[in-house]
Structure 1
């Protein structure tokens, strides 16, 4: 049921922060003026901390900048990737050299949105909250505001809306509704505003392909959805849809599931074990409508009168804890079911977390959390690792006499220690530290063995740390484990 979560720490490459909307009805909103835009779109300076995967005791500071904009409630909206792993944040207005210290109030790494607050309330004496508009139309003219590389003052670029699709967000790897534009978007633009008469979205990323002037925007639809989530000052996230589907593009497959040419939908190929979906859905059901909206054979549902979007978009618009209405066909018979959306989807990338590690005998052990993958009930029941919470990996070997023969060991995920499996990093650490065996035997998932001479490893431990200039041989949570072990040994 679990897959390893790979520790990632990105150096920030920013695009430009943008604007954010208020919570009052859009019918009251007036078009933004150039003056209000220039006073309300800000430059964000960030100092962040990065860690090396292979030497997690080392950290470095990185400076970067992005864009943001003022919204109601004395808040500033920007991208999560602008402030990921931050240790110090400052805000600056166009034409004013003064920088104001800011704090991160809320982050949605899944949606790549963050809300900042400024410590000095007088910062908001100038600049009005920007207002959120509606989803723009295809071919609509738009303007991007932000602080991209190439200068210090506010910058504008113009273009049109090229597409509105369901695409992966680079920061989280999760897919949501996305606007594609042909206006120039560059590092520093991240978090900036896409504007027609009002804010239509937040700049989030540029194309990684060779295409020029291809930028991507978090649409106002999803920004509004995020703000609604935050009305109770708590971020709950976006619902997980605990099934997997197959498109019904094959005439033979449609006939197998008793669907005529005109009858559309998607086939449920897997229902995830231990989820609410197990109670209301089955493998082989055909989903024909979501919240009353038709689902075509390619999984698309109407977005507006002229365009479609992947049907999961309508899951994203719900809040965690709500239910979604599904029309299904089971064994040729139509049914209506309400599926509780009681679990939040999570990115598997890691942000705003320090690495977990310890060093023993020159072996560097690093831990990362496992995460749920969608498994059928049959596969889940057969899975012997269903209770595993952490994976432990040898990331490198600091060459010494106590680890001869393993100096060139590649990154190795461990399954057993002294013949026993483990479910958590804590359990692995305590097994290693309390063993009285002369040799510590580690085994990976293919059966490869690593032998550590315990007496020699402990005798050389401090010498290895001194040789490699390592001042901290473990991460902070291990201090508590050592105290517990010390108490038990008395």
Structure 2
């Protein structure tokens, strides 16, 4: 199976494209990052990692790079091409969704005698691009050449969300992501990831996504990319089209599920056919035309919108065409029961009587590929007003008081003290308020775990010392 992998130490190596790129190298930087990487299996632990990446100087005395180059950072330094001095930097804005970050320098003399690289638009199929960065194996700048081989929606390895990406037919080597792809002396994309177990297939964040990010943060805060909060099915099957009375002149996708948290909830209905977004027709395979004769996922026109923008949905319901205007106020985390991949955050947990509870996170699921199907299923569910966050018994730290339960791990919690709960905070509050002798934790199948409240309190200090845990709770 082919997988996408981010490339904090990977780089596309090519050759310069004519005179227009000769001055670009003066605006390329090397980024040195020290990161604190949290553990989602032992959430009180973390490790320190040192890595490097690339970036480019853009307008406003900023450095544009990938989010994964500086994710979970504790210290950042930047060095210009042709200089030996390192300057301290910090993250100004970051989009983990789109794998983009803007850095600012603490000493603005860094930018003396530098020139910002301008932006270009979306490149065309088979356009040549020059990619700049600092690959492993040397400290000097490397420049190489490739062609645009595909432009379509792909899953970004850093966030696991799907956005427009540019596929480049060029070798990717251990080195630096975050470097710019240049065409006619201007940036057309930011290198971000490679397709593993393949040759010469790399991906870039296109300028459409970069420009969305820059427009978003222009007001001083990052809001994110909007999420419609619906599940759809393609309508290529003739029999299914007949079921919904779709003639040859009608194309679209079937709405099969809607998030209760979404702004389209109670506006859209299951079994509606979504025909168009802002007048852009949706094909039966779920694609839209974004340039002449080029197609990609219909979310392309949702991704164009900023949080708070309106979008017009054209639908087919009961044999009639209708239009619905919707304000896009949600990101994916608002709609999902299990949030998207988290970065720059410390994992939450509660240790109670040696039982370790935490919210179910996508970070944990990614690290544990053999996770129970029940947890994978929860990750595909929508959040509701009654259930905004799933909680699991992560593991059991062995003590005499929890003997018999030591093998419990990655166990979904349905009720605590016979009560349901909305989120991890409410789960903890129920435990804090419990005054009885035995606290009962229960899963959806009715399996129960009993925790002696008095023994849990008596053993707390011993458990924390034995397992080198600083605090019994972090939330």
For the aligned pair, the TM-score class normalised by the smaller chain equals: 0.7 to 0.9
Distance 1:266 1:386, change over 3 A: same
Contact conserved, 2:181 with 2:187, CA < 8 A, in 1?
yes
Matched residue, 1:311: 298
Which stretch shifts more, 39-48 or 355-364?
A: 355-364
Following TM superposition, by how much is the alpha carbon of 1:12 offset from its aligned partner in structure 2, in angstroms?
A: 8.0
Matched residue, 1:204: 192
Q: Which is higher, the Rg of structure 1 or of structure 2?
A: 1
Q: Secondary structure at the match of 1:303?
A: strand
Following TM superposition, by how much is the alpha carbon of 1:364 offset from its aligned partner in structure 2, in angstroms?
A: 2.1
Matched residue, 2:205: 218
Distance 1:282 1:65, change over 3 A: same
Match of 1:15 among 4, 10, 14: 10
Which stretch shifts more, 274-283 or 299-308?
A: 274-283
Runs of 4 or more above 6 Å deviation: 369-374
Residue 90 in structure 1 maps to residue 77 in structure 2: yes
Q: Which whole-Å deviations, capped at 9, do the CAs of 1:388-423 have from their partners, x for residues lacking one?
A: 344333222222222211222222222223323333
Distance 1:241 1:101, change over 3 A: same
Contact conserved, 1:465 with 1:471, CA < 8 A, in 2?
yes
Q: Secondary structure at the match of 1:252?
A: helix
Matched residue, 1:359: 351
* RMSD of equivalent CA atoms: 2.7
The residue correspondences of 1:244-259 to structure 2 (distance < 5 A) are: 244-259=231-246
Which stretch shifts more, 401-410 or 211-220?
A: 401-410
Distance 1:342 1:396, change over 3 A: closer
Following TM superposition, by how much is the alpha carbon of 1:17 offset from its aligned partner in structure 2, in angstroms?
A: 10
Following TM superposition, by how much is the alpha carbon of 1:11 offset from its aligned partner in structure 2, in angstroms?
A: 10
- What is the rounded CA distance, in whole Å, between the counterparts of 1:235 and 1:205 in structure 2? 23
Q: Secondary structure at the match of 1:186?
A: strand
Contact conserved, 2:260 with 2:385, CA < 8 A, in 1?
no
Distance 1:204 1:331, change over 3 A: same
TM-score for the superposition, normalised by structure 1: 0.83
- What is the rounded CA distance, in whole Å, between the counterparts of 2:448 and 2:28 in structure 1? 57
Following TM superposition, by how much is the alpha carbon of 1:453 offset from its aligned partner in structure 2, in angstroms?
A: 2.9
Distance 1:426 1:332, change over 3 A: closer
Following TM superposition, by how much is the alpha carbon of 1:279 offset from its aligned partner in structure 2, in angstroms?
A: 5.1
Matched residue, 1:459: 458
Distance 1:464 1:102, change over 3 A: same
Following TM superposition, by how much is the alpha carbon of 1:123 offset from its aligned partner in structure 2, in angstroms?
A: 0.5
- What is the rounded CA distance, in whole Å, between the counterparts of 1:240 and 1:307 in structure 2? 23
Distance 1:468 1:330, change over 3 A: closer
Matched residue, 2:403: 404
Q: Which whole-Å deviations, capped at 9, do the CAs of 1:427-481 have from their partners, x for residues lacking one?
A: 4334334433332322223222222233333333322333333333332x5xxxx
Distance 1:266 1:437, change over 3 A: closer
- What is the rounded CA distance, in whole Å, between the counterparts of 1:204 and 1:153 in structure 2? 20
Contact conserved, 2:92 with 2:102, CA < 8 A, in 1?
yes
Q: Secondary structure at the match of 2:172?
A: coil
Match of 1:184 among 171, 191, 207: 171
Q: Secondary structure at the match of 1:227?
A: helix
Contact conserved, 2:6 with 2:158, CA < 8 A, in 1?
no
TM-score for the superposition, normalised by structure 2: 0.86
Contact conserved, 1:247 with 1:299, CA < 8 A, in 2?
yes
Following TM superposition, by how much is the alpha carbon of 1:236 offset from its aligned partner in structure 2, in angstroms?
A: 1.9
The residue correspondences of 1:320-331 to structure 2 (distance < 5 A) are: 320-331=307-318
For these two proteins, the number of residue pairs brought into alignment is 446
Distance 1:327 1:220, change over 3 A: same
The residue correspondences of 1:442-457 to structure 2 (distance < 5 A) are: 442-457=441-456
- What is the rounded CA distance, in whole Å, between the counterparts of 1:74 and 1:17 in structure 2? 25
Matched residue, 1:429: 428
Q: Secondary structure at the match of 2:23?
A: helix
- What is the rounded CA distance, in whole Å, between the counterparts of 1:11 and 1:462 in structure 2? 41
Which stretch shifts more, 270-279 or 336-345?
A: 270-279
- What is the rounded CA distance, in whole Å, between the counterparts of 1:387 and 1:421 in structure 2? 9
Contact conserved, 1:389 with 1:423, CA < 8 A, in 2?
yes
Contact conserved, 1:287 with 1:295, CA < 8 A, in 2?
yes
What are the ranges of 5 or more consecutive residues in structure 2 without an aligned counterpart? 334-338, 363-377
- What is the rounded CA distance, in whole Å, between the counterparts of 1:247 and 1:273 in structure 2? 22
What are the ranges of 5 or more consecutive residues in structure 1 without an aligned counterpart? 1-9, 19-30, 478-490
Contact conserved, 2:12 with 2:131, CA < 8 A, in 1?
no
Distance 1:429 1:225, change over 3 A: closer
Residue 60 in structure 1 maps to residue 47 in structure 2: yes
Matched residue, 1:484: none
Q: Which whole-Å deviations, capped at 9, do the CAs of 1:31-90 have from their partners, x for residues lacking one?
A: 984453211111111111122223222222111111111111111111111111111111
Following TM superposition, by how much is the alpha carbon of 1:274 offset from its aligned partner in structure 2, in angstroms?
A: 4.7
The residue correspondences of 1:367-386 to structure 2 (distance < 5 A) are: 367-368=359-360, 386=385
Matched residue, 2:336: none
Q: Secondary structure at the match of 1:420?
A: coil
